[in-house]
Amino acid sequence: MADSQFPQVPEAIVCSSCGADPRASASCNQCKGAGIGIPADDGFLVWNTIVDEITIAIRKLRIKANAIFHLAILSVIIVFVALFLVFTIRDFKFSDVQTLAFWTSGYWFVTLFYFAVVVGAFFIFRLSEFTAPAKTLPGYLPSSHVARPTSHVENKIQKAIEVMPYFSPEAIEIVESAYRLAKELQVVEITPEILFASVLTNRSGGIFMARLGMSFDTVKEPLVRLIMTGTTGKPPINFSREAKRTLAAAYDFANRTNRKYVTSMEIFLQSFLESEKLQDLIDRVGYPKSDIVHVAEWVLLQDRLREDQNRFAELARLKPKSAMNRAMTAIQTSLLDHFSEDLTLLARQGYLPPMIGNEKVMDGLMRAIESGQGSVVLVGDQGVGKAAIVEQLARLMVEERVPEVLFDKRIVSVNLAQVVAAGDSGLAAERLISMLQEVAISGNIVLALYGIEALVGGAAGPMDLAETFASEIEKARFPVIATTSPEAWTQYLERRRLGKIMVKVDVPHPDAEQVIKVLMAKSGGIEYKNRVFISYGALEKATTLSIRYLHDVAPPQNALNVLREASVLARKTREERTIVTADDVAKVVHDKTSIPVEMVTQEESGKLMNLEDHMHGRIVGQDEAVVAVARAIRRARAELREGKRPIANFLFLGPTGVGKTETAKTLASEYFGDENAMVRLDMSEYQDQSSIGRMIGIPGDERGGLLTEAVRKRPFTIVLLDEIEKANPDILTLFLQVMDDGRLTDSVGRTIDFTNTIVIMTSNAGTSYIQSAVADGESMDKIKTNLLERELKSYFRPEFLNRFDGIIVYKPLTRDEVVQIAWLMLGSISRTLEAKGMNFRAEDQAVEDLADAGFDPAFGARPMRRVIQDRVETPLADILLKGEVARHDTVVLNDDGELTVEKAENLY
């Protein structure tokens, strides 16, 4: 249901006759004294009931008196009948009872029997008229009807309708406990806020709060403070105008949504919508207005599903229990039965749940069938609900709410894998033909084929039954509903005969609103199974996160899977009857994708704020790069980005060996948890145009490309493209789209989401200019400007450069920085030795010497690795192998560059 169906502010009017003046309205005929009401189709809706201690007591007395009265009547009937039976059996024979004289001779116990009959009739009358919980709303749809008769009459004279009799006992109790609350807090008016508080403290309030994921303690105090802002004093306590409007609006809403009675849900919703202060309060404790509206929608949807299920069960009794149709024209289909499952029978027995959403697809399907084209193929990704559509068709066929061509038929799902499992294509074809003949002769069968591409033998080599099948269904003209994926459709069916004779109906991905609705509908089963309560926050989170991050299975299936797992997680980590929250869902998604989607914890917040320092533990200098990358991560984690582009696009420029790749690796290890959590492509391998195929896949090859597959499987990652200037220009064009839209379509037709990646490209372009400019002492700003305006133009197009969030120029390393790098590298040797229980120490002069040997202005710090290998690691390995160093000893790199061992003091 769209939000628009929920009235934002009920349109109430003050009674035109009395102007809601308390003195005049007492005798006002128009509003019967309410003063304010809502004009509706049925009349002028007013709440006009006094609620105080006396009326509450009388209502309770009335319920009790009626119950006692009914019990008394029933007792009278039982006693009269019992006396009649006892005396008749004791004193008369059966033959006597058959005479008229027995019934008319004036026996007192026979007279009692006659009275029992009359009292019995009276009892039927009492049960019919005095035991209903409340009056039934005029808009109520009984379970056996599907359409509501329209009762709208133009220019009808508006008569006042008192709404109270339509309130369910629970709703009345809520109004009464609102009175008590007002009395307790010593306010003189019952306001919508008090009604709202009253719902929360009531039985059903627990459900609403569980659905919201809110605890009463969080709202209790602010709510009391809000209520206390009203006028205080002693009773009498009256309803405020807003409260009267709330209660009348509750009736109006319940009636418009075809409910039987006004329940706590309507009071909950309308009191909330009525009071802006309340909305503000609830918003401040973390629950926006839309959440409350959605919770009400959820309750309504579940009630409706229950009613639909009752109607379905009633209609299902008319559908035959066996394969025979009602016209008895069908035949036994033994072969088909062996390889298939009767969906109508399953639906009839209540095994198939109703479909939520996808109405447009259903209409398309019905239209295709009704138009006489017969065979339909539903094309959609795995998880969008193709099977649910077929199952819904089965349900509609059970109810016989289908086009005439499907009337009195059954839908049978054929297990194609089993059919082709013969291995021998001849045998499989024979089986198929025999089965189809049974279907054709029987005449009451609709075939459902899940994954029709199995007929084409996509996986089974030479087995190709598609042609056989196509010619059979063309000949016999029985309806076929098949399903397939878009890839299989393009690859196996579209250009073949089978694809041409079937009507293609696309099953699109549902949007977030529809996914939430599916989750709402399915939540009951999940809750029952896991004995938990699911909050609205969990539904919403499951929906947004699945749509954003889980692309292996389409929504709503992916969201459902997440919700199921989150429910199991909640039950296992806490106890039964716990509430599944958004955090549980986030944890499941995090575990599946490694994407940090949970709320930022204190610990993580500290890490994020100090990300630069952490990164400088590995990267020497290059402040600009480190700051830019850290800021991008912080923006992403605070969810401040739009979500339509990658988290960030960076171009790192500079000579080799200055830390460009190291920056990417550091980021991967600091934030993505693993130094290798990146997709790294060396663009020198992508110099010709044909290499695009390697990147995004070759048409016809389902494996996809190196880049697209890696990102599809791990959407939250760094995409590192080294030496981008060497790539083919067409590849750069491909990345224009990635950088701008955050997506790329692979050869199979899948759209790969790049919005959770950080795209880093490195380039040596302009290196000689950078080096000479730095040597000349030019400022970095000027160097950057010159690079962009002159040097890079020969390598990259302006629109390409424009798409970067940051172009960062890495400075050539100074000697001091190289010394620091030497210390960092020796630090890693020290850590290795520490793991073996040994210590390592280096003297300053030795490190200076290493830096001198390892520093090359042309190659940055790259030679350093080799120098350390030659001068430190190799001799160290010799020492270790010779066994010259024991645990607790210290290896020292002396000023002369030699390694010596300092033996540890023997304490024992």
Partner 1 sequence: MMQRSGALARLIFVDLIGSVIWFPIWWYTKGLTKFISWCYEGLLYRYKQYAFSVWIKNFFVPMYAQYDWVGRLISVGMRIAVILGRGVALVIEAFAYLFLVLCWCAIPPLALMMALQNIYAGIL
For partner 1, give the closer residue by CB, 50 or 599.
50
Q: Which CB atom, from 363 or from 370, has the smaller least distance to partner 1?
A: 370
The minimum distance between CB 235 and partner 1, in angstroms, equals: 13
Of the listed pieces 48-56, 300-308, 381-389, 481-489, which binds partner 1 according to CB under 8 A?
Answer: 48-56
In angstroms, what is the minimal distance from the CB of 40 to partner 1? 20
Q: Which residues contact 211 (CB under 8 A, 6 or more apart)?
A: 295, 298, 299, 533, 534, 535, 536
Question: Would you count residue 441 as binding partner 1 (CB under 8 A)?
Answer: yes
**What minimum distance in Å lies between the beta carbon of 43 and partner 1?**
17
Q: CA–CA separation, 376 vs 701, rounded Å?
A: 27
Residue 576 CB burial class (10 angstroms; 0-12, 13-18, ≥19): exposed
Site for partner 1 in 96-115 (CB under 8 A): 103-108, 110-111, 114-115
| Nearest distance, CB of residue 744 and partner 1, angstroms | 55
| Minimum CB distance to partner 1, residue 142 (Å) | 11
| Region of 36-44, 118-126, 255-263, 553-561 interacting with partner 1 (CB under 8 A) | 118-126
CB of 193 to partner 1, least distance (A): 23
Our finding on whether 86 is near partner 1 (CB under 8 A) is no
Question: Are 515 and 550 spatial neighbours (Cβ–Cβ below 8 Å)?
Answer: no
Of the two residues 129 and 221, which places its CB atom closer to partner 1 in the complex?
129
| Distance of closest approach, residue 228 Cβ to partner 1, in angstroms | 26
- For the segment 658-687, give every residue that binds partner 1 (CB under 8 A): none
Q: Which two tokens stand for residue 433?
A: 């033909």
Residues 308-367, interacting with partner 1 (CB under 8 A): 318, 326-331
> Is position 117 an interface residue for partner 1 (rule: CB under 8 A)?
yes
- Matching residue, tokens 């582009």: 645
Between CA 545 and CA 598 the distance in angstroms is 10
Looking up tokens 């009937």 gives 77
- Closest distance between partner 1 and the C-beta of residue 702, in Å? 43
> x/- binding map, residues 624-663, to partner 1, per CB under 8 A?
----------------------------------------
Q: At closest approach, how far in Å is the CB of 222 from partner 1?
A: 33
Q: Which is nearer to partner 1, 121 or 775 (CB)?
A: 121
Rounded to a whole number of angstroms, the minimum distance from the CB of residue 89 to partner 1 is: 19
Stretch that binds partner 1, among 43-51, 209-217, 605-613, 807-815 (CB under 8 A): 43-51
DSSP state of 700: T
Based on CB atoms, which residue is closest to partner 1, 48 or 558?
Answer: 48
Angle (deg, nearest 10), helices 512-530 and 536-549: 120
* Residues that contact partner 1, how many (by CB under 8 A): 50
CA 514 → CA 305, 475, 511, 581, 589, distances in Å? 16, 39, 5, 20, 20
696 token code pair = 């995004």
User: Contact between 217 and partner 1 (CB under 8 A)?
Assistant: no
Identity of the residue, 52 or 895, whose beta carbon is nearer to partner 1 in the bound complex: 52
| 96-105 LR contacts (CB < 8 Å, sep 24+) | none
- Using the minimum distance from each CB to partner 1, give the nearer residue, 32 or 395: 32
User: Radius of gyration over alpha carbons of the chain, in Å?
Assistant: 39
CA atoms within 13 A on the CB side of 476: 25
Q: Name the segment binding partner 1 (CB under 8 A); options: 116-124, 335-343, 496-504, 786-794.
A: 116-124
Nearer to partner 1, 49 or 375 (CB): 49
Task: Determine, following the binding rule CB under 8 A, whether residue 475 of this chain makes contact with partner 1.
Answer: no
Give the residue among 588, 586, 585, 621 at the shortest CA–CA distance from 600: 586
In the complex, least distance from residue 324 CB atom to partner 1, rounded to whole angstroms: 9
Report the DSSP beta bridge partners of residue 744: 752
Number of H helices and E strands in the chain, helices first, is 41, 24
Contacts (CB under 8 A) with partner 1, residues 399-428: 407-408
Q: Nearest Cα to 790, choosing from 766, 768, 824, 809?
A: 766
By CB under 8 A, tell whether 593 contacts partner 1.
no
* Residue 524 token pair: 């009951």
User: How far apart are CB 353 and partner 1 at their closest, in Å?
Assistant: 25
Contact 778, 794 (CB under 8 A): no
Residue 407 beta carbon to partner 1: minimum distance, rounded to whole angstroms: 8
Handedness of CA 366, 368, 372, 377 (dihedral sign): negative
Task: Give me the least distance between CB of 97 and partner 1, in Å please.
Answer: 15
Residues in contact with 751: Cβ distance below 8 Å, sequence separation at least 6, in sequence order: 743, 744, 745
CA dist 307 and 319 (Å) reads 19
One of 66, 151, 733, 874 touching partner 1 (CB under 8 A): 66
- 111 vs 601 by CB, closer to partner 1: 111
| Helical ranges in 185-240 per DSSP H | 192-201, 203-212, 216-227
Neighbours of 471 (CB within 10 A): 15
| The only residue of 1, 61, 89, 775 in contact with partner 1, by rule CB under 8 A | 61
Per-residue binding letters, 154-173, with partner 1 (x by CB under 8 A): --------x-----------
Q: Does 50 bind partner 1 (CB under 8 A)?
A: yes
Phi, psi for 753 (deg, rounded to 5): -90, 120
Q: Give the nearer residue to partner 1 in terms of CB position, either 129 or 905.
A: 129
Angstrom distance (rounded) from CA 207 to CA 218: 16
Start-to-end CA distance of the chain, whole Å, equals 81
How crowded is residue 75: how many other Cβ atoms within 10 Å of its Cβ?
A: 10
CB 741 within 8 A of CB 644: yes
Give the sign of the dihedral formed by CA 840, CA 842, CA 843, CA 844: negative
Q: What angle do CA 606, 610, 615 make, to 5 degrees?
A: 135
Nearer to partner 1, 312 or 671 (CB): 312
Nearer to partner 1, 101 or 640 (CB): 101
Residues 124-153 that bind partner 1 (CB under 8 A): 124-126, 128-130, 144
Main-chain phi, psi angles of 278, to 5 degrees: -65, -45
| Contacting positions for partner 1 (CB under 8 A) | 26, 33-34, 48-50, 52, 54-55, 58-59, 61-62, 65-66, 69, 103-108, 110-111, 114-115, 117-118, 121-122, 124-126, 128-130, 144, 162, 318, 326-331, 407-408, 441-443
